[in-house]
Structure 1
Amino acid sequence: MQADALYATSADGLLASRWPTQAIETEAISPFAHKSAGVDEGGRQLAFLGPPKVGDAHVVHGRRRDLVGTVVTLTIDSLGYDAGVACYVIGADETQVPGCTVLTVLRRI
């Protein structure tokens, strides 16, 4: 048996006014049991998806296709990653570098 879904909508008026015709709409289905948790998640998604982002690629050791769709903290000695940067993993290629995975990530700028 499956219960009816609960829906929560989040919006950012400032972002909508800056880019009224370029707004994106995302939808996520999650296992949250309470609507308040969904509202909190909407806030987290707005905080990440709202500001401008840049795509990067990073080589990490091991086979890490499991990271696609998750947020990871990457720390390297260049490109502004020295203190660690939270990135959303949108792709993983385990064939380019032997024993490694090339992660394609989005990060806020």
Structure 2
Amino acid sequence: MYVPSTYNVDQPIDNTPYVNKSLEEFSRMFGGATAIDGTGSWLSDDNQLVKEKVTIVYSYAEDLDKKKINQVVAYTKSLKEEMKQSSVSLEVNGKMYFIE
């Protein structure tokens, strides 16, 4: 999951509390988690490049069943709502999903 560094889409914040909460949730679900800082970018509706700091929180799962996927999606949705984002990116098995 890619934890944004903005609140309400464009207000810069310290995302540390959200990263820590995500590490805790992923560790409970999968037994451990890692966070890596990075920079993400995308094109806005008016074709402008938008760059933002992100923190990627991830876990490895030997058995990723439907129940675990549903838990991760539900948590990602709650984070999206709490941070007032239009979507939050979630990567599963190398495929990117935009949780809206």
TM-score, normalised by the number of residues in structure 2: 0.25
Higher relative contact order (CA 8 A, sep 6+): 2
Q: Which has the higher strand share?
A: 2
